[in-house]
Structure 1
Amino acid sequence: MDSDPLLSHALTGVVDYRGCPASRDATGRWTSALFIIGVEIAERFAFYGVSSNLISFLTGPLRESTAAAAAAVNVWSGWASMLPLLGAFLADSYLGRYRTIVIATLLYILGLGSLTLLSSLPSSLLCPTDPVDCTPSPVLVTSFYASLYLMAFAQGGHKPCVQAFGADQFDENDPGECVAKSSFFNWWYMGMSSGVLVAIVVLSYIQDYVSWALGFGIPCTAMVIALVVFLIGTKTYRFYPIKESRTVTCMEKDLDAAEEDNQRLQPKQCASSLGEEIKGLLRLFPTWATCLTYAIVFAQSPTLFTKQGSTLDRRIGFGLEAPPAALQVFSSIAILTSILIYDRVLVPVARKLTKHPSGITMLQRIGAGMTISLVGIVIAAMVEMKRLQIAKDYGLVDQPDATVPMSVWWLVPQYILCGVSDVFTMVGLQEFFYDQVPDALRSLGLALYLSIFGIGSFISGFLVSAIDKASSASGDSWFSNNLNRAHLDYFYWLLAGLSAFGLLLYLHFSLAYVYKKERA
């Protein structure tokens, strides 16, 4: 009897949505990846639709100070980047990536729906005593933050699983699909950045000039559409059955095996495998730790960079004025342009010179981005020094609401360099932490990558709060609500010093790193 042609093309250890062996021809690859990239575009549109302009909401309708709002955004961003560790654990050990994505998307919709409802309440309910000048009700503020953190919790399940699930659609043992997987990380980031760009351009304008309720409601609708798109693609996906990671289950196996005489060797075997997985994770720690300084600088774009832009002349012609958060669009444009140049020009040229399949190694890519980020924060410090000098020259030091006669275009270089550095460092980190972790822990690997930005945001928030308290005790705070009396330039120079120190440590450890495996 002839063998089943579907089984002859079946992938080892991979199943389709029915639990049957997955066919190489009928599942996975770019068909599935495009569904998943579409979901990521919607998720990034929704997340940045809130996060990119969050500081404006906190200092506006919620009446928080600049320092308090910046610290609050940093802490929230930190948790949003740390919670993927929990989401990855649940996905790799219990739920699987597909189910985790569905549950997380439903929580996203709930959180965004709550934000929409709360922001649509009339001023008389937000501030019953004085709708014009008051502190909003503590109950409503608490409800708003609860909705924000529900959204962060949802991202914790969504973020590591969607990218890992997308990469799972390519077979790393097939030479053609292995090359496509490497390209997938570039196009994934390009799609993600497209969602961010649209969110920044469209939603920041709606939130600042039309309605916060509409500005939060559109992302909620986007996540509903994302869920529908993701479910439509179910029949095309490749599913990897949950592998019991020894890191999670070995202790249970040890206890069970100890009770059975015929399994006395199993605890030793399990402990040995557990040790290998832990060792594999610890090898990544120097890279993780030294990239924290990059993450601290990354946290400034949606917070202090935005407040910096709010003081400048934002007229862009045709009677239009750009919302402060919309300046982040230059980072997104830089990302989209740089990915095309990197994938289509730099990689082919570098491949001919280095003979490496990806042109340059993952660690070289990360280091290049860290260097660009250092240059960007130095330029940000110099621009802020000029802004303060112009405010002084025009006698605007004590006029916090006055527009400083300095074009907003001065901020464009720091946003562009921020975007270019992302293409190198963030994409490099994504690929590195997916590729170099033990195979059973790939969702956890991507969660570890995200935790860099979580801890970086926490550190940024701590620095802002500590420096605000220390500097305000001896005069004007570095983060004074009157930015013309503040000293964001001092803070940027501090971050530049930390970045330089982190880069030197990174170079030291990366030169000694030995990759887990070479690509085919």
Structure 2
Amino acid sequence: MAEMRSSSSNSKTNSLIHHPSHHKGGWNAAIFIIFVEFAERFAYQGLASNLIQYLTNVLNEPITQAAKDVNTWVGASSLFPLLGGFIADSYLGRFNTILLSSLIYLVGMIFLTLSVTALKHKLLFFLALYVLAIGDGGHKPCVQTFAADQFDEDTPEEKDTKSSFFNWWYLGIVAGSTASVFVVIYLQDNVGWGVGLGVLAGVLGLALALFLLGIKRYRKEGPTGSPFTRLAQVFVAASRKWRVHSTHGHHNYCYEEKEHDEPHHLHAQPKILTLLHTPQYRFLDKAAMIDEVDSKSKTRDPWRLCSVTQVEEVKLVLRLIPIWISCLMFTVVQAQVHTYFIKQGATMVRSIGPHFQIPPASLQGLVGVTILFAVPFYDRVFVPLARKFTGKATGITVLQRIGVGLFLSILNMVVSALVEAKRVGVAKEHGLVDDPKAVLPISIWWLLPQYMITGISDAFTIVGLQELFYDQMPEALRSLGAAAYISIVGVGSFLGNIVIVVVEAITSRYGQKWLGNNLNRAHLDHFYWVLAALSAVNMCLYVWISKVYVYKKVQEGHYTSDHQGSAHKYRPGV
């Protein structure tokens, strides 16, 4: 029978592996990575924020079709990161994936610029859009994770810095997005789409050059091979031992990490934390139980016997799936910012002074401005205040933070429905219901509350999801973890399309369509009430899921590495 045994023989070796150079990493390295993310957000937001205007005003698409096209592109841009994260973790590593995807992104933006200027071809425009989506697929899951990797959790001072890293990282992203919304959209609407997209291409090229300037400062981790192999081994091993009955005792569990003889090039490898056993998903525990066959074997078959840590890594992934599902409606609500919010604003008075009109899409900048104030307020005021009541270092838990944002998204749809009812009422009062291009005598600033609530809810839920899917994923799967949280936006966008199609089908069968080209005749307020009701049901589901959620439990002071012996050894035949 195998037994647990602790050993510290590898501690010095691991230290050398994970800290190859003291002058690398930290904010001195992360700042260069932030420039790349700033540029990507600047480019993405500068395009996505006003895309529906180009589709309706230049390509003459109906509003509903344009909204679905925007959602489809946003969805694809948010699902490709799953493939990009897998490639980064398995084959290329995060640095190489960022470099390659940044080049693809730049090429896509250049082709997009050509499609609205010199070539002016609709097919090329859509082709370039999805080249951008592919580039985004490698960029999104890796940049944040690569930046977070620059802070070592084993060094107390860097661990403290990393604790607030996600807040300030997201603040940088929002700064790029906000600057783009105010500057680029104005250029697109008043100077020309060629100039606006050309600026985006130039910013991307500059950021890529800055990223390469910091190449000697980065802490780089090489690929670890397919992370899915390690997960699959647990399911196979558990199924092969389905006849094993008792999983209550821990005395016959394997705590060893499989040794590898092959070195992983010159890059440091992600360390594997020693995870403590948890009682959920007990059927998987059989994969770590040492039965008679295992005890007689001289070598461990990884497809028959897995370590407790390996089993717990699978449980980490499984626990995140319900959270992922319960946040989809949140992104359906947020998608309205890029679509129907803009078309509402286009029908309202947008004048500031006698000679300047706010582009309707520029109001999205208010989301960014709100976040720019909300994130520092959360980090410097709310957390210390909440800490006095909860005793938690973070003030509230990550799941509670996400939950606050979900509640605010419900409030957002309620407010949006009331404001839209007011806008339609003004149209009826002035006899403009049948004139969809008329500017209604109601200020665009009536939309301010829904944009601000969007920003505050983002500051809670999006930052919370970033932290959750980074911290609670196995270390070897962190790029995929980032991709998984981003994919919530992607699937949520497709779900938004489904809601639109269903609402159109039902309402056209029983009367007038709620969603048509003439927003004054449509019932967009009813659509918002539907989203509020769906979000409320979703919120109930989330509360139930979060109550049974178990956070990662790490055994302090014990780490293993993919090419090292572990602190806990399995001895066959004992």
Task: State how far apart, in whole Å, the 1-side matches of 2:314 and 2:400 are.
Answer: 25
Q: What code does the residue aligned with 1:331 have?
A: V
Alignment of 1:402-421 (within 5 A): 402-421=438-457
User: Could you say what secondary structure the match of 2:38 adopts?
Assistant: helix
Aligned to 1:460: 496
1:112 aligns with 2:109: yes
Task: State how far apart, in whole Å, the 2-side matches of 1:417 and 1:423 are.
Answer: 10
1:292 to partner: Cα distance: 0.7
Q: What code does the residue aligned with 2:519 have?
A: L
Task: State how far apart, in whole Å, the 1-side matches of 2:232 and 2:385 are.
Answer: 49
1:322 to partner: Cα distance: 0.3
- Distance change (3 Å), C-alpha of 1:374 and 1:519: farther
| Structure 2 residue corresponding to 1:34, chosen from 15, 31, 36 | 31
1:97 aligns with 2:94: yes
| Structure 2 residue corresponding to 1:200, chosen from 174, 181, 184 | 181
User: Could you say what secondary structure the match of 2:337 adopts?
Assistant: coil
| Structure 1 residue corresponding to 2:84, chosen from 84, 87, 91 | 87
1:61 to partner: Cα distance: 1.1
1:51 to partner: Cα distance: 0.4
Between stretches 55-64 and 263-272, larger displacement belongs to 263-272
Aligned to 1:370: 406
Alignment of 1:49-198 (within 5 A): 49-121=46-118, 140-198=121-179
Question: Which entry has the higher C-alpha Rg, 1 or 2?
Answer: 2
1:71 to partner: Cα distance: 0.5
Task: State how far apart, in whole Å, the 1-side matches of 2:232 and 2:299 are.
Answer: 14
Q: What code does the residue aligned with 2:173 have?
A: M
1:490 aligns with 2:517: no
Answer yes or no: is the 8 Å Cα contact 1:67–1:481 preserved in 2: yes
- Distance change (3 Å), C-alpha of 1:262 and 1:142: farther
1:406 to partner: Cα distance: 0.5
Q: What code does the residue aligned with 2:49 have?
A: S
Q: What code does the residue aligned with 1:23 have?
A: S
1:31 to partner: Cα distance: 1.2
Answer yes or no: is the 8 Å Cα contact 1:67–1:465 preserved in 2: no
1:224 aligns with 2:221: no
1:487 to partner: Cα distance: 1.2
- Distance change (3 Å), C-alpha of 1:387 and 1:243: same
Q: What code does the residue aligned with 1:174 have?
A: T
Task: State how far apart, in whole Å, the 2-side matches of 1:387 and 1:41 are.
Answer: 36
User: Could you say what secondary structure the match of 1:406 adopts?
Assistant: strand
Answer yes or no: is the 8 Å Cα contact 1:390–1:406 preserved in 2: yes
Aligned to 2:249: none
Gaps of 5+ in 1: 1-7, 15-20, 127-139
1:22 aligns with 2:27: no
Task: State how far apart, in whole Å, the 1-side matches of 2:193 and 2:301 are.
Answer: 62
1:252 to partner: Cα distance: 10
Task: State how far apart, in whole Å, the 1-side matches of 2:525 and 2:483 are.
Answer: 33
Aligned to 1:134: none
User: How many aligned positions are there?
Assistant: 487
Answer yes or no: is the 8 Å Cα contact 1:13–1:241 preserved in 2: no
Percent identity, aligned pairs only?
Answer: 47
Q: What code does the residue aligned with 1:79 have?
A: A
Task: State how far apart, in whole Å, the 2-side matches of 1:397 and 1:325 are.
Answer: 23
1:273 to partner: Cα distance: 6.7
Aligned to 2:344: 308
- Distance change (3 Å), C-alpha of 1:476 and 1:206: farther
User: Could you say what secondary structure the match of 1:405 adopts?
Assistant: strand
Q: What code does the residue aligned with 1:48 have?
A: Q
Post-superposition Cα deviations, 1:258-296, rounded to whole Å, max 9, x if no partner, equal xxx975634324597765433221111111111111111
Answer yes or no: is the 8 Å Cα contact 1:372–1:421 preserved in 2: yes
Task: State how far apart, in whole Å, the 1-side matches of 2:387 and 2:333 are.
Answer: 31
Aligned to 2:40: 43
1:317 aligns with 2:363: no
Task: State how far apart, in whole Å, the 2-side matches of 1:184 and 1:220 are.
Answer: 28
User: Could you say what secondary structure the match of 1:391 adopts?
Assistant: helix
Post-superposition Cα deviations, 1:469-513, rounded to whole Å, max 9, x if no partner, equal 443455442221111111111110010001111111111111111
Aligned to 1:18: none
- Distance change (3 Å), C-alpha of 1:312 and 1:173: same
1:249 to partner: Cα distance: 6.2
User: Could you say what secondary structure the match of 1:62 adopts?
Assistant: coil
Between stretches 314-323 and 371-380, larger displacement belongs to 314-323
Aligned to 1:359: 395
Answer yes or no: is the 8 Å Cα contact 2:410–2:535 preserved in 1: yes
Task: State how far apart, in whole Å, the 1-side matches of 2:233 and 2:540 are.
Answer: 42
User: Could you say what secondary structure the match of 1:63 adopts?
Assistant: coil
- Distance change (3 Å), C-alpha of 1:179 and 1:9: farther
Task: State how far apart, in whole Å, the 2-side matches of 1:146 and 1:248 are.
Answer: 34
Aligned to 2:460: 424
User: Could you say what secondary structure the match of 1:83 adopts?
Assistant: helix
Task: State how far apart, in whole Å, the 2-side matches of 1:471 and 1:54 are.
Answer: 27
Answer yes or no: is the 8 Å Cα contact 2:90–2:227 preserved in 1: no
Answer yes or no: is the 8 Å Cα contact 1:247–1:277 preserved in 2: no
Aligned to 1:335: 371
Normalised by the length of structure 1, the TM-score is: 0.89
- Distance change (3 Å), C-alpha of 1:212 and 1:11: farther
Answer yes or no: is the 8 Å Cα contact 1:357–1:519 preserved in 2: no
- Distance change (3 Å), C-alpha of 1:401 and 1:519: farther
- Distance change (3 Å), C-alpha of 1:181 and 1:292: same
Between stretches 42-51 and 351-360, larger displacement belongs to 351-360
Alignment of 1:273-284 (within 5 A): 275-284=311-320
User: Could you say what secondary structure the match of 1:283 adopts?
Assistant: helix
1:12 to partner: Cα distance: 4.2
1:209 to partner: Cα distance: 1.2
Task: State how far apart, in whole Å, the 2-side matches of 1:441 and 1:48 are.
Answer: 27
Which has the larger share of helix?
A: 1
- Distance change (3 Å), C-alpha of 1:99 and 1:392: same
Task: State how far apart, in whole Å, the 2-side matches of 1:64 and 1:224 are.
Answer: 31
Task: State how far apart, in whole Å, the 2-side matches of 1:72 and 1:277 are.
Answer: 37
Answer yes or no: is the 8 Å Cα contact 1:246–1:274 preserved in 2: no
Answer yes or no: is the 8 Å Cα contact 2:514–2:527 preserved in 1: yes
Task: State how far apart, in whole Å, the 2-side matches of 1:249 and 1:351 are.
Answer: 38
Answer yes or no: is the 8 Å Cα contact 1:247–1:274 preserved in 2: no
1:211 aligns with 2:192: yes
Q: What code does the residue aligned with 2:134 have?
A: F
Query: RMSD over aligned Cα, in angstroms?
Result: 2.4
Normalised by the length of structure 2, the TM-score is: 0.81
User: Could you say what secondary structure the match of 2:35 adopts?
Assistant: helix
1:340 to partner: Cα distance: 1.2
Q: What code does the residue aligned with 2:355 have?
A: G
Answer yes or no: is the 8 Å Cα contact 1:70–1:464 preserved in 2: no
